[in-house]
Amino acid sequence: MTWDYSDMKKWGWQKHPRGAVIPQAGTADDYKTGGWRSQRPVLDKEKCINCFFCFIYCPDTAIVVEEEDMKGFNLKHCKGCGICAHECPKDAIAMVDEIKAKQQDEAASA
Amino acid sequence: MQRTVAVVGTDAVAEAMRQINPDVVPAYPITPQTAIVETFSEMVADGKVESLLINVESEHSAMSAGIGAAAAGGRVMTATSSQGLALMWEMLYIASGLRLPIVLANVNRSLSAPINIHCDHSDSMGARDSGWIQLFSENGQEAYDNTLQAVRIAEHPEVKLPVMVLLDGFIISHSVDRMDFLEDEKAKKFVGEYVPENPLLDAKNPVTWGAFDGLYGHYFEFKRAQQQGMLNAPAVIKMVGEEYGKISGRPYGFFEEYQMEDAEFAVVALGSAAGTIREAVDNARCADMKVGMIKLRMYRPFPAAELVQALSRVKAVGIFDRSDTFAGAMGGPVFVEIRSAFYESAVKPLMSNYIYGLGGRDLSFGLIEKAFSELDDAARTGVVKEKVNYLGLREGEVE
């Protein structure tokens, strides 16, 4: 069974699960914490040695790894805490200003 | 055959707990803890009950461990008293907010300061808005009976709220009383198997308990839903009380009416005082005083409509409170609520408040007779001389 809570903001008090229980696992995936970010991690793939320290330390499971290769960051969940940049033994992750990064993204897509 | 015994009130609760055989009992083992947990721990040590007894470092931790164990899917019970209940405060609201059917026996004792270990209702009355169902007991028998029923009430799917069973410190907790215990099998059958809702230990269906709500903001809706459990509770408490009556011969309702049929004035009381007042009513009846008594058992939820119906026939009512609200001239909590219950009523009796027994001060026949005589005057003259009275208080120079 999948718990459909897509319109939860419209729910009356009768519809919520008793005792505020979340009756399903994995719902944190829908909780986009990326909006909290003021600093954005940027990967320099030239320096990265795929040690996965960042993967281990990330408190939000926001490091994207495919086939044992560090691919970058899940920016929908990355809160910009900078732990990955701090722990990286090769200084392959830089923290940049989120607003500037956003402006650059918009300029690039325009 | 029920077993007729003579035991103290705390042993009566421990015996009910043994028959219920809860999965987990987290409890603080020393003062202000009472012999409920001491007796129960002996039962655990002697293998008479299978419960996991967790000795914790404070009552705050006792309720915290209880909440965790209940969310995990266990049937949880604990006991406390006085400052212990006060230290649980924060967690009481979490137990009710999460709709966990925990059962707690609280031995009613005063709150400091000054330090005093004796009976009054300050501890339990302070928890009256914590979302717990509260059942008061007049004696050891009722403490035992209420404990068995509390499990059924708490776990009922229409309720799912924690229940507090209240018994007066020393007067009930430490006094030997004659009572009847149900046969183990009958008690177990009555209590039944517990089927938890969304247990954390069900690894195949992972769930989250106690998540943060502050960003989306559904707190208001959850609190309204919690109130629904309380609104549903009276029907369940009535049903469970009647069913218990069938197996024990001791049926229970919201309150007991004593000599109310032709009463011209009445008193309302909770807990052990009702026993003394019943005797005083009998004595007064011999002297042709038409007095009745209502012994309130279910304090949360508050049976407002039923109390109004039962009390609107009399001319004057004296409400006995074993705690104060400290709200100025408003009187004790039971007084405030009964007055509020009468607001819409066209017919209402005169009402006065008798705050008595704070810090274990005895409630003697003499004091009750004083209240009766004042209420009798009020019923005759239509005038209440003093709205809030402190019964048994030393005033002025005491010789």
pLDDT in tens, B181-216: 999 999 999 999 999 999 999 999 999 999 988 766
Instruction: Identify whether the C-beta of residue A37 lies closer than 8 Å to the C-beta of residue A79.
Output: yes
Residue of B nearest to A14 (CA): B225
Residue of B98, B205, B225 lying closest to A16 (CB–CB): B225
C-alpha to C-alpha distance for B187 and B17, rounded to whole angstroms: 10
Beta strands in B56-147 (DSSP E): 77-81, 103-108, 133-136
Residues of A in contact with B210 (CB under 8 A): 20
Dump pLDDT digits (tens) for B86-116.
Answer: 999 999 999 999 999 999 999 999 999 999 9
Give the mean model confidence (pLDDT) for residues B32-58. Answer: 98
B206 in contact with A, Cβ within 8 Å: yes
Interface touch B218/A17, C-beta < 8 Å:
no
How does residue A29 score in pLDDT terms, banded at 50, 70 and 90? confident
- CA distances B107 to B19, B29, B165, Å, are 20, 14, 8
- Asked if B71 and B81 count as a contact pair (C-beta separation under 8 A), the reply is no
CATH architecture of A31-109: 2-Layer Sandwich (3.30)
Write down the pLDDT at residue A30. Answer: 87
Interface touch A23/B207, C-beta < 8 Å: yes
The two beta strands, B52-55 and B24-27, are parallel
Interface membership of A36 toward B (CB under 8 Å): no
B99 with A18: Cβ contact below 8 A = yes
Each residue's pLDDT tens digit, A31-77: 899 999 999 999 999 999 999 999 999 999 999 999 999 999 999 99
The reported pLDDT for the residue numbered A2 is 85
Per-residue pLDDT for A1 more than 70? no
CA distance B210 to chain A (A): 7
pLDDT at B135: 98
Please state whether beta strands B3-8 and A63-66 pair in parallel, antiparallel, or not at all (unpaired).
unpaired
pLDDT of B77 strictly over 90: yes
Q: What percent of chain B has pLDDT over 70?
A: 99
Express each pLDDT in B307-328 by its tens digit: 999 999 999 999 999 999 999 9
What is the ipTM score, two decimals? 0.88
CATH classification of B255-391 is 3.40.50.920, yes or no? yes
Comparing alpha-carbon positions, the chain B residue that sits nearest to A10 is B218
Q: How far is CA B226 from CA A79, B134, B167, in A?
A: 34, 15, 26
Smallest CA–CA distance, residue B52 to chain A, in Å, is: 25
Residues 6+ apart with CB under 8 A from B133: B150, B153, B154, B159, B161, B162, B163, B164, B230, B233, B237, B298, B300, B301
List of residues 6+ apart from B305 with CB closer than 8 A: B341
Rounded CA-CA distance B33/B13 in Å is: 13
* B222 inside 8 A of chain A by CB: yes
- Token pair, residue B30, equals 């020393």
| Average confidence (pLDDT) over B346-365 | 97
Residues contacting residue A96 through CB under 8 Å, at least 6 positions apart:
A39, A40, A42
State the pLDDT at residue B397. Answer: 82
pLDDT class of B257 with cuts at 50, 70, 90:
very high
Are A22 and B208 within 8 A, CB to CB?
Answer: yes
Q: Please, which pLDDT band fits residue B217 given cuts at 50, 70 and 90? A: confident
Q: B-chain residues within 8 Å CB-CB of A20? A: 97-98, 210-211, 213, 218, 222
Query: In chain A, which residue's Cα lies nearest the Cα of B212?
Result: A20
Q: Which of B78, A77, B15 is nearest to B5 (CA)?
A: B15
> DSSP character for B193?
-
Which CA distances in Å does B98 have to B104, B129, B219?
A: 16, 15, 12
Please indicate if any CB of chain A lies within 8 Å of the CB of B165: no
Domain spans in chain B, listed from the N-terminal domain onward: 3-248, 255-391
B326 touches chain A (CB under 8 A): no
Whether the pLDDT of residue B248 is over 90: the answer is yes
Mutation for testing the A interface, residue in B161, B195, B207, B231 having most A CBs under 10 Å: B207
Higher-confidence position of B287 and B397: B287
- Residue B94 forms contact with A (CB below 8 Å): no
**Minimum distance, in Å, between the CA of residue B61 and any CA atom of chain A:** 21
B163-186 pLDDT, tens per residue?
999 999 999 999 999 999 999 999
Tell whether A50 lies on the interface with B, counting CB pairs under 8 A. Answer: no
| Interface mutation vs chain B, best among A21, A30, A32, A33, most B CBs within 10 Å | A21
Q: Where are the domains of chain A?
A: 31-109
B225 touching A, CB under 8 A? yes
Segment among A14-28, B56-70, B249-263, B275-289 with least mean pLDDT: A14-28
Contact between B221 and A11 using a beta-carbon 8 Å cutoff: yes
Specify the CATH class of B3-248 in words.
Answer: alpha beta
Q: Using the predicted structure, report yes or no on whether residue B235 has a pLDDT greater than 70.
A: yes
